[in-house]
Structure 1
Amino acid sequence: MNSTRIPAQRAIVDRRELAGTIDTLVAEYGDKARPKVVATLKAALEAGRSELARRLAAKPSAGHECAGGHAFLIDQLVRVIHDYAVTHVYPAANRSKAERLAIMAVGGYGRAEMAPQSDVDIAFITGGKGTAWCEQVVEAMLYMMWDLGLKVGHSTRTVDQALRMAKDDLTIRTAQLEGRYVWGDRELYDEGVRRFEREVVRGNERAFVTEKLAERNARHKRMGDSRYVVEPNVKDGKGGLRDLHTLYWIGKFIHRVRAAAELVDVGLFTPAEYRSFRRAENFLLAVRCHLHVLTGRTEDRLTFDMQRRIAERMNFAERPGKSAVERFMQLYFLHAKRVGSLTGVFLAHIDEQFAARSAKSGFFAGWKQRGRNLKGYKVFGGKIAAPSDDWFRKDPVRLVEIFQLAEAEELELHPEAMRQADRDSSLIDNAVRKDPRANALFLDLLTGRNDPELVLRWMNEAGVLGKFVPDFGKVNAQMQFDMYHHYTVDEHTIRAIGLLNKIEKGELAEDHPRATRLIHKVNSRRVAYVAALLHDIAKGRGGDHSVLGAEVARDLCPRFGMTESETELVAWLVLNHLLMSRTAQKRDLTDPKTIEDFVGEVQSAERLRHLAILTAVDIRAVGPGTWNSWKGQLLGELYDVSSERLRLGHMREGREHRIAGKQQQVSELLGKQAHLVEELAATLGDAYWIAEPVDIIAQNLVQYAAAREQAHELSVHCEFYEARGATLVTVIAADHPGLFYRIAGGIHLAGGNIIDARIHTTRQGWALDNFLVQDPHGGAFAERSQLDRLKKSIGDALANRVDLAPRLAQRPLAHSRARVFDVSPRVLFDNKASNRFTVIEVNARDRPALLNRLARTLFEQRLVVHSAHITNYGERAADTFYVTDLTGHKLSAGERMDAIEKALIEAASDALQDKLENA
């Protein structure tokens, strides 16, 4: 693809010397020389690879040099193998016209771009069909290459066959497009190239572009359809090497360019764009070479463990607020982003060129589409363009205006306008940033009613967004090194804005009914959009990003033209954007103190409305599957109870009224079995009636009455609980110490993850425990076989039919890659979060049956667990327990609390996991 000069070539491999050695071996050993020849070639291959690996370690960013070096090494070996085969193995003095053989490198090898473990893609071109000599030579060469351990992709065809297949198959057409002469009959190769251009390329340009782009879109979809996925595929992912190759293939097919540099000559790239093309390609090739060296195989996925090791190999250092791996990945995503913007400009130019060609021929020859004028801009074919090359230089505020108009008028940006915006983005200085008109335009774009997400993404790709809002520029392409966040910070933020727009348009009413209602009740929709833009703006600076982000908001909002009250509300939302999700997922929402504390922070209905909306889009924009009906239900409960408390200044009903109201509702649900409410009301106690939802109480009463009537020592009921997107597991058993951890162990053994647990004891000494359970992918167990497996597993655990600890340790971790991350166990005690209980929160690396181990430790420390709330953030688990001591009292600070903390940290530690796994 590009002519990269390989320095000191003979230090990699000296072909003449190697060929001389082989001639000597043949002279000495005759027909028995082959094993010696293979050994000699293998030594040359290993020496060459070692030399290239050494060079990569010395110059870890030299991607072109490394990839070109490996192609050079294979070239020389293929030439020597060919010469050995035709000279010593199958010599033919008078070859016929059919007995001609050319060796052509195709694919990545054809581009002279090979990572250390890349396949060797070769096409053998023969002069005629089925010639014995050609078949023998090809076979001899292939066996020799396989003996060297090379992975060879090969085909043997005549020129006619190759052209016929290229016409029918896009993959073969692309491979041949990159064909490069390696050795053999040069005239035969040249004939193939001439005919390929004449018979396959000419007249098929538009079809090739269409097919290639469809192939690219399908590949993107397969790889996650974002260039900001946190474990990207360097070769096939969006913004990866394959996207650069696609540009080259299209340019080569349409304009017959022979090297990427020639894309400048045909007007598809400016010199500056070509330089950034080369920089991105060089970096991505270097990363791919490091991946191959480290894994010893064809590995193109930049997994978390590889990210850390490659960052080290490429000499990235830590900076305040940013680890070395985060800095490395930020540069990776900046290059991927650049590939994206180059692709956009390039393809739009191709479109223009096709359109120009069409206009010069046929019915519309000589007809020119007349554009319209929009505030001085040219608009034609649904695209907005600057009227002159100096348009932005004359007034840099136009760099914001053009994007605002594109959003408001539902227009695309003309490729030349994107190119100019990219080039001129550096004109945005403090004067432009403070310009009231520029800020008003930006706010109009941000809160646009059509598609602000798409246009903000263009603005970001062109570098204008980061220049106009420098704080946003700092989080551009910034990843967070964890398994929870799927996207870079800028991509997450722009997605959140897009989700907000969809919610406002009613497009997500099914998943977010509450937010869909609330967005139309807030006093300022501008607050909602600006808060979404700024909520993560201070990530990567060190310190609490919520606190630092609130300071940024206080500076930026007045600049955007927001009022003092809007500014204060945005700052409060940024400061507290995690408050609602943390409270809903980590606290007991039936505990009045939880609501009192939350309402004490929120203080107004307007704040609550905005916080509910921001929380929904923030969670959903984290990545696929992070929002589910369980989280929606929890957040909805918290919103409804808090809204009532704020509106009335108190809970609508006192404790007794609430219990009586619930009992009435349960009676109505039970119908003919309504008598159970009266019979069991006293035995279950007030805490039970307040904690459980009406539908669960109804089910619990029927199960409890049946268990007591039949004198069952153990009753386990499992059912799909659609309202919560989970499986409800109810266990009724004689209460005894350790019951909770054994039930948890049984659920874990059946493959379940507990997301919520409420533990009750009747006045007759029976435990009535309700668990909400999901499968490892966040879905519910709904099949009868799954529910039966859950029941059996819990029964086995409670009857001591299984030894829990070793069995649980052997269960595979849902995220085995969690080992890559540093997650030190942390234990927090909170005696203020509840009037009745001490709240213990344990943060630790997620692992098999963590909850079981923690619950067992609490039992061993003589604590009673009343409820448990389980949250996962990728590799990190946050498990919260509401506990008392055996006398029903809270814990006091001191030696006892210290001992509990020490025991919990040990239970959550990697050391214990390793010990159990090796037991």
Structure 2
Amino acid sequence: MTTPFDTLPQRRAIIDRRALSDAIAAIAQEKKGDSAQLRAAIVGELRVALENGRSEAARRLAARPTRGREMVSALAFLVDQILRILYDATTQYLYPISNPSTGERLALIAVGGYGRGEMAPFSDVDIGFITPYKPTGWTEQVIESMLYSLWDLGLKVGHSSRSIDETMRMAKADLTVRTALLEARYVWGDRGVYEQTATRFSSEVMEDTARAFVADKLAERDARHKRMGDSRYVVEPNVKEGKGGLRDLHTLFWIGKYVNRVRSVSELVDAGLLTTNELRQFQKAEDFLWAVRCHLHLIAGRAEDRLTFDLQLEIATRTHFAARAGRSAVERFMHYYFLNAKTVGDLTAVFLAHLDDVWAARGRRYIPSFFRRPRKLDGFILDRGRIALPSDNFFVEDPVRLLEIFAVADRHGLAIHPAAMRTASRDARLIDARVRKDPRANAAFMDVLTSPRDPETVLRWMNEASVFGRFIPDFGRVVAQMQFDMYHHYTVDEHTIRAVGLLAKIEKGDFKDDHPLSSNLMDKLISRRALYVAVLLHDIAKGRGGDHSILGAELALRLCPRLGLTPAETETVSWLVRYHLLMSATAFKRDLSDYKTILDFIEVVQSPERLRLLLILTVVDIRAVGPGVWNGWKRQLLTDLYDSAEEVLRLGHKQKGRSERVAAKQQALRDILDLPDADFSALQKRFPESYWVAEPEDILEHNARHILAAGDSPLSIAAEGYPRRGATLVTVYAADHPGLFYRIAGAIHLAGGNIIDARIHTMRDGMAIDNFLVQDPLGGRFDSPDQLARIKRCIEEALANRHKLVTKLEARPLPRTRAEAFQIVPNVLIDNKASNRFTVVEVNARDRPALLFSLANALFQSKLTVHSAHVATYGERAVDTFYLTDLLGGKVESKARLQSLERRLLEAAGAITEEPAEKVKETAPA
């Protein structure tokens, strides 16, 4: 009888069962009569064997670090032998029985992944004890003794103990139990009991339940994908449970085994569910994914299946990936990982299509289809509601059809038959320079890209068939390319396709609540086609070692004419790609109440149409980065920048100017507060115009009520939840003085908070009203009553100068964050031209708790006044911008003083940063 370990080489190097059994027999003879000492001695021998076997398995992985199959087989084989020796020792020396009855029989089986003969270093040992009837006293003693021994060995055991009848009953009622038993394998004990269990499972549980099992497993898979992010291209994937991971491959095997009763993956070929080539792809992807999972366990020292940034770095080193032109070793490793995840996805689609066809041949399909029959299919045919090929060489006869099949699918809202997708993948290599220049091919591609229906889905099909990357080779270079940072959640190609899909949904009006301004502007665009192409190309030059905006703009000039765009459209696309980060950088890192900020922005934008296009491109770019990146605060900042820029660009045709917007906000606040005219006028005059421009209406109301409630008090502090931003709003109303900002920042950090935004306003009467948005250091909530009370107390003590902030903060250990996996070179940019009144200082550094306090303290030590602070984070990178003057209110222009300021800020930014590895080129990734 074959076993999963028949091809495992040098098994005795892992464990020598015969020698170990002889050693235990000798010990049993020596310690006869003392069962406690004997069990301890048996466990001692097994522990040594277990450690030696694990070391041998780890050595084999180190020798071939991207091949994990041998290690997981070796570990499963090792546990098999440990269990067999333990079973024999327990039944022969600890609880011997000379004349067992029919009920005193016991079978030991492996279930789940261990049943397949696969085990990661810290996987559970899933076993089952099967008895013919209810357990007897002897079987209970044996089971209990074995479990205690396994726990003493440090193994994490998942176990069950059931009679055959109970096993059948549980398998029928519970899908998890049924799946585990589907992979059940005999390990040791009474083989007759095992055979009876297997026979009854096949006839009583599996018979006539295949369709229900498949439906349940696919529903389970879909729920798991949704839980894990519903994309195989998330940048911190779960190797086991994520989309494109090991569990997807296991699901295929489970379905094949249940439907066709195969015993191994290779038998899926005989069943017609995989081709020989697809089997090789299956085994190669599984081998690599197992290797990654084993490395994860070994590095973490526990069961760890999430490929986090810090572990990616370590595994890239262990698997000997090296840096190559423009891409680091870890990015190349993750690129290879995502290619394997893509293979898993392709195999899943093909496998289910084969299964569907097999069942369809029997008169019933598993996968339902509801479709309308189009009149014209451009030579393609319909196969039960899906576009199929009339012949196997259909693409060979005319390779342009490789693009047309996707245009037809989009036009008629039809799915493409998986057999046709497989053929497209095979024939994608036929797309050469001639096809790329063919007007029909480019027209078909543009029809899909600019489709008013569902371009995201069809572009994803095109990408999975490798047609996308073949037709646009520059896009092919970013397929499965990860961006090694905490800001981007997806690979470059997945981010791009999601951005196109989001643009289409905004155009259809699906996001009017989230993106009201963009939804309104889509109908007013003149250059709709140019916008879709710009979204496609905005990140296409990433990973080339230069500024991807500049390189992408140059690439657009070459590519757009081929796609059929006019010279004017080509220029627009190139400009949009070149400046696709401009609007977010201005909105999030500059003071929008400073009129010079707006003038500098429109000097680049120059036209209302470009402004509209850039806003929409910026919105979809940010939103497509990942969940939780877009929020109401960013929407408000972008809207404010758009309104201010439109006012200047429209000149005499302005709809609502700066003064009108200020007046509208003041009137809205007057209506809400319902104060006498004289009292409101007195309150209104205390604020500079920049305050009314900078703050949204809800903050204006909050601040006004705070100031009115404070009366003549020299200090008033408020802290409350601010759900709109998922943070806590901390407001401090105090007499303005040098060091106010740094003391508040230090107090917030001392209280355990992390500042994610700060808006500082000096009032005309010498008071200051400062608004801070605060979360915990890991981005979580910071709004419990204890936390709010603590933050107010810390600010009050800091402003009263009751303790030395720097000393207390240095004594307080900072929490470790995921950002510590990255090395960021601190960078200080000082600009005296960005504002007419202020010196603008931008600091780029690795985000960490108390960073803002360190920078604010450096500014205080430099004897500078902070008039405005803008805090932006891009994953692991913080970009903090300050609008400064000297203590007399003038710009900082002395060269020596600017050099001293830069040095102080660099020291503050890198206070706990290791020596950086490379110069940061981007300050506003998107």
Structure 1 residues 83, 768: closer, same or farther in 2, change over 3 A? closer
Matching of residue 323 in structure 1 with residue 328 in structure 2: yes
Tell me which residue corresponds to 2:714. 713
Tell me how far apart the structure 2 counterparts of residues 780 and 121 of structure 1 sit (CA, whole Å): 39
Shift of 1:90: 2.2
> Residue deviations 1:577-636, cap 9 Å, x none?
100000000001111110111000111111111100000000000011100000000000
Tell me which residue corresponds to 1:70. 75
Q: Which one of the candidate residues 38, 48, 52 is aligned to 1:47?
A: 52
Structure 1 residues 673, 743: closer, same or farther in 2, change over 3 A? farther
> 8 Å contact 1:3–1:259 — kept in the other structure?
no
Matching of residue 769 in structure 1 with residue 770 in structure 2: yes
> Residue deviations 1:489-533, cap 9 Å, x none?
111111101110110000000010111011111112111111111
Tell me how far apart the structure 2 counterparts of residues 762 and 770 of structure 1 sit (CA, whole Å): 13
Tell me which residue corresponds to 1:225. 230
What secondary structure is seen at the aligned counterpart in 1 of 2:828? strand
Shift of 1:771: 4.0
What secondary structure is seen at the aligned counterpart in 2 of 1:769? strand
Shift of 1:856: 1.5
Q: Counterpart of 1:574 in structure 2: which amino acid?
A: V
Shift of 1:422: 1.6
What secondary structure is seen at the aligned counterpart in 1 of 2:675? helix
Structure 1 residues 291, 4: closer, same or farther in 2, change over 3 A? farther
Which stretch has the larger CA shift, 787-796 or 224-233? 787-796
Shift of 1:789: 5.7
What secondary structure is seen at the aligned counterpart in 1 of 2:758? strand
> 8 Å contact 1:725–1:780 — kept in the other structure?
yes
Tell me which residue corresponds to 1:835. 836
Q: Counterpart of 1:301 in structure 2: which amino acid?
A: R
Tell me which residue corresponds to 2:515. 512
Which stretch has the larger CA shift, 710-719 or 52-61? 710-719
> 8 Å contact 1:677–1:701 — kept in the other structure?
no
Tell me how far apart the structure 2 counterparts of residues 165 and 715 of structure 1 sit (CA, whole Å): 64
Tell me which residue corresponds to 2:414. 411
Which stretch has the larger CA shift, 21-30 or 641-650? 641-650
Tell me how far apart the structure 2 counterparts of residues 652 and 521 of structure 1 sit (CA, whole Å): 15
Tell me which residue corresponds to 1:352. 357
Q: TM-score, normalized by length of structure 1? A: 0.93
Q: Counterpart of 1:891 in structure 2: which amino acid?
A: V
Tell me which residue corresponds to 1:584. 587
> 8 Å contact 1:518–1:609 — kept in the other structure?
yes
Matching of residue 301 in structure 1 with residue 309 in structure 2: no
Matches within 5 A, 1:9-158: 9-32=11-34, 33-158=38-163
Which stretch has the larger CA shift, 113-122 or 740-749? 740-749
Matching of residue 385 in structure 1 with residue 388 in structure 2: yes
Structure 1 residues 496, 806: closer, same or farther in 2, change over 3 A? farther
Structure 1 residues 786, 241: closer, same or farther in 2, change over 3 A? same
Shift of 1:727: 5.7
Shift of 1:232: 1.1
Tell me which residue corresponds to 2:875. 874
> 8 Å contact 1:106–1:121 — kept in the other structure?
yes
Matches within 5 A, 1:403-802: 403-648=406-651, 671-676=674-679, 678-679=681-682, 684=687, 688=691, 700=703, 703-704=706-707, 707=710, 710-717=711-718, 729-749=730-750, 752-773=753-774, 790-801=791-802
> Residue deviations 1:633-679, cap 9 Å, x none?
00001011111111117988999898778767765665433213543
Q: Counterpart of 1:423 in structure 2: which amino acid?
A: R
Tell me how far apart the structure 1 counterparts of residues 50 and 4 of structure 2 sit (CA, whole Å): 23
> 8 Å contact 1:4–1:65 — kept in the other structure?
no
> 8 Å contact 1:125–1:158 — kept in the other structure?
yes
Tell me how far apart the structure 2 counterparts of residues 77 and 734 of structure 1 sit (CA, whole Å): 74
Aligned residues: 906
Tell me which residue corresponds to 1:289. 294
Q: Counterpart of 2:831 in structure 1: which amino acid?
A: D
Tell me how far apart the structure 1 counterparts of residues 299 and 719 of structure 2 sit (CA, whole Å): 47
Tell me which residue corresponds to 2:901. 900
Structure 1 residues 330, 162: closer, same or farther in 2, change over 3 A? same
Identity level (%): 61
Shift of 1:484: 0.8
Tell me how far apart the structure 2 counterparts of residues 732 and 913 of structure 1 sit (CA, whole Å): 38
Once superposed, what is the RMSD of the aligned Cα atoms?
Answer: 2.9
Structure 1 residues 479, 779: closer, same or farther in 2, change over 3 A? same
Q: Counterpart of 1:731 in structure 2: which amino acid?
A: V
> Residue deviations 1:549-603, cap 9 Å, x none?
1122112111111111111111111111100000000001111110111000111
Q: Counterpart of 2:20 in structure 1: which amino acid?
A: L
Shift of 1:295: 1.6
Tell me how far apart the structure 1 counterparts of residues 200 and 340 of structure 2 sit (CA, whole Å): 37
Tell me which residue corresponds to 1:917. none
Tell me how far apart the structure 2 counterparts of residues 205 and 127 of structure 1 sit (CA, whole Å): 27
> 8 Å contact 2:592–2:693 — kept in the other structure?
no
Unaligned runs of 5+ in 2: 916-926
Tell me which residue corresponds to 2:8. 6
> 8 Å contact 1:776–1:814 — kept in the other structure?
yes
Tell me how far apart the structure 2 counterparts of residues 15 and 778 of structure 1 sit (CA, whole Å): 52
Shift of 1:382: 3.1
Tell me which residue corresponds to 1:258. 263
Shift of 1:47: 0.7
> 8 Å contact 2:106–2:129 — kept in the other structure?
yes
Tell me how far apart the structure 2 counterparts of residues 296 and 778 of structure 1 sit (CA, whole Å): 27
Tell me how far apart the structure 2 counterparts of residues 652 and 354 of structure 1 sit (CA, whole Å): 64
Structure 1 residues 24, 586: closer, same or farther in 2, change over 3 A? same
> Residue deviations 1:67-117, cap 9 Å, x none?
111111111111111221222222223222222222211111111111111
> 8 Å contact 2:540–2:552 — kept in the other structure?
yes
> 8 Å contact 1:126–1:157 — kept in the other structure?
yes
What secondary structure is seen at the aligned counterpart in 2 of 1:82? helix
Matching of residue 160 in structure 1 with residue 165 in structure 2: yes
Structure 1 residues 304, 719: closer, same or farther in 2, change over 3 A? closer
Shift of 1:133: 2.5
> Residue deviations 1:327-368, cap 9 Å, x none?
11111111111111211221233233333324499xx9xxxx
Q: Which one of the candidate residues 405, 417, 434 is aligned to 1:402?
A: 405
> Residue deviations 1:27-84, cap 9 Å, x none?
2232343332221111111111111111211111221111111111111111111221
Tell me how far apart the structure 2 counterparts of residues 796 and 38 of structure 1 sit (CA, whole Å): 60
What secondary structure is seen at the aligned counterpart in 2 of 1:819? helix
Which stretch has the larger CA shift, 825-834 or 661-670? 661-670
What secondary structure is seen at the aligned counterpart in 1 of 2:59? helix
Which stretch has the larger CA shift, 234-243 or 687-696? 687-696
Shift of 1:372: 7.3
Tell me how far apart the structure 1 counterparts of residues 248 and 15 of structure 2 sit (CA, whole Å): 32
Which stretch has the larger CA shift, 19-28 or 254-263? 19-28
What secondary structure is seen at the aligned counterpart in 1 of 2:33? helix
Tell me how far apart the structure 1 counterparts of residues 50 and 726 of structure 2 sit (CA, whole Å): 57
Q: Counterpart of 1:426 in structure 2: which amino acid?
A: R
> 8 Å contact 1:2–1:261 — kept in the other structure?
no
Tell me how far apart the structure 1 counterparts of residues 694 and 223 of structure 2 sit (CA, whole Å): 49
Structure 1 residues 690, 336: closer, same or farther in 2, change over 3 A? closer
Which stretch has the larger CA shift, 900-909 or 45-54? 900-909
Structure 1 residues 68, 727: closer, same or farther in 2, change over 3 A? closer
> Residue deviations 1:864-883, cap 9 Å, x none?
11100010111111100000
Tell me how far apart the structure 1 counterparts of residues 169 and 312 of structure 2 sit (CA, whole Å): 43
